[in-house]
Amino acid sequence: MSILETFLNGYVADPIIELQGYQLYRQDRTRASGKDRGGGLCIYSKKRLHTSVVEDWSKCTPHIEMQWLKLALKDKRDTYIANIYIPPDGNMQTALDTIEIVLVEILALGNKDIVLMGDFNADLKKQNSARVKLLKEFYQTNCLSQLIMEATRTTDRSSTLIDHVYMNRPEMYFQAGVYEAGIADHSLVYTARKKWKDEETTEYVWARSYRKYETNKYRQDIESADWSSVTEEELDVNRATINFYKIPLTIIDKHAPYKDIRCKGPLPTWFTNELMSLIDDRTYRLRKHKKSPMPENYRLRQEDITLVNQMKRELQRDHAKKHLKHARVTVSKRGRS
């Protein structure tokens, strides 16, 4: 649950505004915004959820107030949620550039869910306004969808749609709308996500597991096997052939037994053979360290882990930049046509 324009400051202690069963994350307006009062953001998250604030992405400037929260779910993709307020006198292009810098970093992390919500002070009912045009280009370029279609602020003189919710996976949300609370001229905006079980289910295949396979031990068992049931002269040819296949298969089943193996899906487009080679080296070092926990093996293992992580980040970052550049060119061509 996110709240904008909290008007909170250092004189208001957390216990005064805390809700039972919820973790409070607040971001009061600072002088960096160019204003001495007003503004401020906060998010209430259920304590059973694994959430944390991403301090490096959270901003408070004259053009935007932005608070980022990471929702980590076991065995599920992480969700990054932004609570955003763009002042009426803020520069829309500067504000959107600030958001886009964070989106590039999230794309570099891999397959993540993104939710942007808040008061953008751009009335989507006025499609020809300069602020709306910039906003529309922004969410189309970044492959985001806006879910709120009703007016979110109603006064005696106007009815505007300035509170928005953007996300990169709208298919995972079955409901979104506006609720008139009657406590302010802004209505409450909400979304409801599908249950986790509705997501794609994990698939398994019946295949050999080579996790504990060792070439030297396998060769030793092959060499020490009793092949007399194949080489005996009196043996029927058909029986000898069956034994010829049966003996090595029995040994293979010992070293690489069949198991249900979880399918990880296709490799991402940014994945390279060089990265695969580094991952293989890392796996080898890990197994070697488990068998012989020596300082040298530990050092080599840590070096391989660092190399793999560095290369993954670089490849993901380059892929994200190319994706955004291509999307911008596409949108620009559409606009000219």
Same domain membership, residue 129 and residue 247: no
Instruction: For residue range 20-57, list pLDDT tens digits in order.
Output: 889 999 999 988 888 878 889 999 998 888 999 999 99
Same domain membership, residue 287 and residue 252: no
Q: Which two tokens stand for residue 167?
A: 């996300």
Q: Residue 203: its pLDDT value, please?
A: 62
Residue ending a domain, choose from 246, 262, 278: 262
Containing structural domain, residue 129: 2-198
- In angstroms, how far is CA 319 from the centroid of its own chain? 15
Lowest mean pLDDT among 77-81, 124-128, 263-267: 263-267
DSSP classification of residue 268: P
Same domain membership, residue 132 and residue 249: no
Same domain membership, residue 140 and residue 286: no
Q: In the chain, how many domains are there?
A: 3
CA 132 – CA 111 distance, rounded (Å): 28
Which one-letter amino acid corresponds to residue 112? K
Which one-letter amino acid corresponds to residue 76? K
Same domain membership, residue 285 and residue 189: no
Same domain membership, residue 253 and residue 316: no
Same domain membership, residue 97 and residue 27: yes
Q: What percent of the chain lies above the pLDDT cut of 70?
A: 90
Same domain membership, residue 210 and residue 179: no
Helix then strand count (H, E) for the chain reads 8, 16
Provide mean pLDDT across the span 137-152: 91
Provide mean pLDDT across the span 203-220: 81
Q: Residue 198: its pLDDT value, please?
A: 42
CA 316 – CA 270 distance, rounded (Å): 6
Q: Residue 333: its pLDDT value, please?
A: 52
Same domain membership, residue 164 and residue 53: yes
50 closest CA partner among 27, 30, 75: 75
The domain that holds 8 is classified in CATH as: 3.60.10.10
Instruction: For residue range 220-251, list pLDDT tens digits in order.
Output: 999 999 888 888 877 778 778 877 878 888 89
- pLDDT at residue 314 is higher than 60: yes
Same domain membership, residue 123 and residue 97: yes
- pLDDT at residue 337 is higher than 60: no
Q: Please, what is the average pLDDT of the chain?
A: 85
Residue ending a domain, choose from 198, 223, 254: 198
**Residue 93 CB burial class (10 angstroms; 0-12, 13-18, ≥19):** middle
Instruction: For residue range 169-183, list pLDDT tens digits in order.
Output: 888 888 899 998 777
pLDDT band at 196 (very low <50, low <70, confident <90, very high): low
Provide mean pLDDT across the span 100-115: 89
Pair type for strands 41-46 and 2-4: antiparallel
Provide mean pLDDT across the span 248-263: 81
Residue ending a domain, choose from 198, 223, 246: 198
Same domain membership, residue 272 and residue 189: no
* Beta strand extents in 87-172 (DSSP E only): 113-119, 145-146, 153-154, 159-160, 163-167
